[in-house]
Structure 1
């Protein structure tokens, strides 16, 4: 794909470039994963309508340069800023985990509207309510399937060491039954299974997984990981 493309986009990652600029990595509904330079974004938010934070949604016009790592940015405006997430450390950790998974499953320059819908849907849900539990597990299973790594719920339950009753409960959950709630030990066991699966898919451990697993087990990330904010950033 080349030329100018106008697309909704989700901010996946940012890093500083010199004193005033940001390199912003996004998932675009129409162009997949891409990176641009946002000139002056570190010094002024006014021109973009808000801060270019992780998880914010944008309306962008990108000048696509095939074969390059960085593309041109003709227009960029924040359309859906974060509010609740940025005030809650556990939600920040959840967001970091979600975006790390999306970064590693999205393909650069390859449009995937279904993946974009999964990504913005889970961020919207996290903005609305803390989302550490069955909803996140369901989302991860959907993301694996979208990325071509669909796995049988029975196989996952076996790997987690579930007995017959918990296996039946997990199968109901995997089919979308909102009343299926895993006991806490089973939930932690499934989190460990998913962490291993993602490591196999991605080829390395997820940086955010340790913090997420602490939050998912009902612990306070702020109390048990006092430097968690720095780790996420």
Structure 2
């Protein structure tokens, strides 16, 4: 057996394989996103079972053989039990995990993204922040940390710092005032002062204060729509977990 490695990480995806094993996709703090074989994790009484669950955040003891990491021990730090007990929250958290997997590369540490994911799950699990606000903030900040940060300093055409009737161009990732947006085409989303301020706050505030605001009514809807459309347009893919989450919202 090779030298053991100790790291912390969260399970983004768990795929059952063989009789009782999992192949885990884990975002770690020191190794980046890695694939890990969890032998016997599905077996009753396995000491690594809890740490092999989706969204389990643990201290992990790994060893490497060839191109694969193997899970030797897992001491769970948080299982986000409040999320697991609510199918709607679990579907939203699964969307966060799928998005995170989409934007991260193997073996490249991204501590800011790991921190964002953990803080967002904590906001749902313990702080019980509104789902739509946590979701929108996560989408926007994740895209920014992944190299897709939108330009919200002012209108991209005339330079007005605080347009009275701001419009967000999700395709170009820029802010426009209503006059410069003109009639436009697809991807132009109307904002208001509150939703625009919320987007700026998410991008520029300290990580621990990212969700220290509240919105309601039409302002909350505009904030949520702008962030979701921006993520969809920039990443150019559908997320099955998002579709499932939306179906759960409709059912409820």
**TM interval, short-chain normalised:** 0.7 to 0.9
Give the alignment of 1:138-177 within 5 angstroms: 138-153=137-152, 154-156=168-170, 159=187, 161-162=189-190, 166-176=191-201
Listed as ranges, the matches of 1:1-233 within 5 Å are: 4-48=4-48, 50=50, 52-64=52-64, 68=67, 70-128=68-126, 129=128, 131-153=130-152, 154-156=168-170, 159=187, 161-162=189-190, 166-176=191-201, 178-184=212-218, 187-188=220-221, 190-214=223-247, 219=249, 221=251, 223=252
- For residues 179-225 of structure 1, the C-alpha deviation after alignment (integer angstroms, 9 at most, x for no partner) is 451524x544554544443334434211122233456xxx454x5xx
1:40 is paired with a residue of what secondary structure? coil
**Does the aligned pair in 2 maintain the 1:15–1:22 contact within 8 Å?**
yes
Equivalent residue of 2:40, what SS? coil
Tell me: CA distance 1:179–1:74, structure 2 relative to 1, closer, same or farther (3 Å). Answer: closer
Q: What is the match of residue 226 of structure 1? A: none
What do residues 19-73 of structure 1 show as CA deviations (whole Å, max 9, x unaligned)? Answer: 211111110010111111111111134412736221111111223467x3x3222
Distance 1:4 1:105, change over 3 A: farther
Q: If the length of structure 1 is used for normalisation, what is the TM-score? A: 0.78
Q: Is contact 1:20–1:42 with CA below 8 Å preserved after alignment?
A: yes
* Structure with the greater alpha carbon radius of gyration: 2
User: What secondary structure is seen at the aligned counterpart in 2 of 1:120?
Assistant: helix
Q: For the aligned residues, what is the CA RMSD?
A: 2.7
Aligned partners of 1:170 and 1:182 also within 8 Å: no
Contact 1:8 1:60 in 2 (8 A): yes
In 1, are the aligned partners of 2:9 and 2:57 still within 8 Å (CA)?
yes
**Distance in 1 between the 2:146 and 2:25 partners?**
19
Contact kept in structure 2, 1:145 and 1:151, CA below 8 Å: yes
* CA 1:98–1:119: 2 relative to 1, 3 Å: same
Rounded to whole Å, the distance in 1 between the matches of 2:49 and 2:17 is 20
Partner of 1:229: none
Looking at structure 1, the residues matched to 212 and 129 of structure 2 have their Cα atoms a distance apart, in angstroms, of 16
Look up the SS of the partner of 2:52 in the other structure.
Answer: coil
Q: Give 1:227's aligned residue.
A: none
- How many Å apart are 1:108 and its aligned residue? 0.6
Contact 2:140 2:231 in 1 (8 A): no
Structure 2: which 5+ runs fail to align?
A: 153-167, 177-186, 202-210
Give the 3 Å change call, closer, same or farther, for CA 130–182 of structure 1 in structure 2: closer
Residues 75-126 of structure 1, C-alpha deviations (whole Å, 9 max, x = no match): 3232212311111111011111111111111211011111111111111222
